[in-house]
Structures are given as C-alpha cells and as structure tokens.
Chains A and B, each alone.
Chain A
Amino acid sequence: ETGVTQSPTHLIKTRGQQVTLRCSSQSGHNTVSWYQQALGQGPQFIFQYYREEENGRGNFPPRFSGLQFPNYSSELNVNALELDDSALYLCASTDWGEGDTQYFGPGTRLTVL
C-alpha cells in the first residue's frame, strides 16, 4: 500500500541545533506533506509541496522549511531547535486519483535535549 520511507528513524539533538529529516514518496506521487505529532496528540500540518513548490503551510514558524526534489524525495529542515520541537515527524504522499488519499511514512522521532 505505502511506499513512503523516512530517515532517520530516531534522532537526538540539542537545543539550538539544526536538523534535516528526509522522506521518499511513492513513485508517481508529486505531492508531499509534512506533519508534526507531539506525544498524545494528533498530527499537525506543517506544509505541503507540489511539484517542488510550497503549496500551503500550517501554523509553524519560518525556521521550519522544506524542499522537494524531482525524484520524489523531500526534506524537512528545522533551525534553532527548541525543546517543544520534540515530536514524531511524518511525511505523506498524496494519491490524487484515489480519494485524495495521503499515505504516511513510518516517521522520524526527534528528541531535543
């Protein structure tokens, strides 16, 4: 069902550092979305990329940025990490032909100390 992969699985950083998380979307899916899931909560939308351009952004500060590449891979970059950035980060690729369904990867668990 899902061919979405993410790396790394886990990551530990300290406050103030920068981090890059990676996602590989399902082949043919030209839209990728990133979500942040804090412990005990539902995922919150960070932003979406469509054909390498940002296509919507949630309520996250500019230190959260992204890139999408032609080979269906994408990155989430977070600068100046804060303790509250500790969360599970999920990427999802969209199948516009089937219920506009977003298929999620396994996530990256980021811990900020």
Chain B
Amino acid sequence: GEDVEQSLFLSVREGDSSVINCTYTDSSSTYLYWYKQEPGAGLQLLTYIFSNMDMKQDQRLTVLLNKKDKHLSLRIADTQTGDSAIYFCAGIAPDGNKLVFGAGTILRVKS
C-alpha cells in the first residue's frame, strides 16, 4: 500500500521561504495534496496537484512534483508567523477512497 514520509521539523525566519518535502511509494495516486493543521484544529486544504503535472503555483504556495523520484515539495514564499502549523502531504489510494497521510512536518516561523 501507499506509504508517505515527511521530515519532522522545519524552522525558518519570518520573510524567508520554507520548503517542506515529502516522498511517497505508490505512483498510482491521481492527486497529491497538502493540508495544514493548526493546534487543536482540523485539516485545512492548502492545495493539490494532479499527478501528470510537474508544478502548480497558488499565490505564495508552489508545489513541485518529481514523479521519477516520487518526491513532492511545498514551497511557501515570504513565510509569516501565521504559517506556523503542522503540514501534511497525502496521496489518494488507487481505489480513490482513502487519503494516506505522512506523519506531518512541524513548521516553526521565528520573528
């Protein structure tokens, strides 16, 4: 089945760019997603990318997909203190019904 791995922690200074990385095992995911979770809250969808795309940009967010290496990244430009949260990447299982999440990356933004 699908397995998704992420680095556990990232610390950046306010105004810098943040890059959160993710690797996955199952290349049959149609879509790959990035979610944000603030303390005590549910998951907020940030963006998603179709598996036949290499890049998607959405305001401050840039998603890069390297299908050969099964590597997904999320770049946040001009990182703000409000971006401090846990970020999860997720793939959709081939049968289309379940999301498989990584363990999450804690992003800490220092002012």
* Interface residue ranges, A against B (CB under 8 Å): 1-2, 4, 6, 33, 35, 40-45, 48, 50, 55-56, 58, 90, 92, 99-107, 109
Which one of A4, A43, A48, A50 lies within 8 Å of B101 (CB-CB)? A43
On whether A56 and B95 interact (CB within 8 A), knowing A1-B45, A42-B103, the answer reads yes
Which one of B43, B90, B95, B102 lies within 8 Å of A90 (CB-CB)? B43
Shortest CB distance B2–A (Å): 10
Q: Which chain B residues lie closer than 8 Å to A109 at the CB level?
A: 40
Q: How many A-B residue pairs have CB under 8 A?
A: 67
Distance of A17 Cα from B17 Cα, bound (Å): 48
Q: Which chain B residues lie closer than 8 Å to A90 at the CB level?
A: 42-43
Shortest CB distance A9–B (Å): 9
Which one of A50, A55, A103 lies within 8 Å of B45 (CB-CB)? A103
Distance of A43 Cα from B15 Cα, bound (Å): 30
Which residue on A lies nearest to B98, using beta carbons? A45
Q: Tell me whether B41 and A42 are in contact (CB under 8 A).
A: no
Q: Which chain B residues lie closer than 8 Å to A48 at the CB level?
A: 97-98
Query: Which B residues between 88 and 104 are near A, CB-CB below 8 angstroms?
Result: 88, 90, 92, 95-104
Q: Which chain A residues lie closer than 8 Å to B45 at the CB level?
A: 1-2, 101-104
Which residue on A lies nearest to B100, using beta carbons? A45
Distance of A109 Cα from B40 Cα, bound (Å): 9
Which residue on B lies nearest to A1, using beta carbons? B45
Additional A-B contacts beyond A42-B101, A45-B99, A101-B48 (14; CB < 8 A) = A1-B45, A2-B44, A35-B99, A41-B103, A43-B101, A44-B101, A48-B97, A90-B42, A100-B96, A101-B31, A102-B45, A103-B45, A104-B44, A107-B42
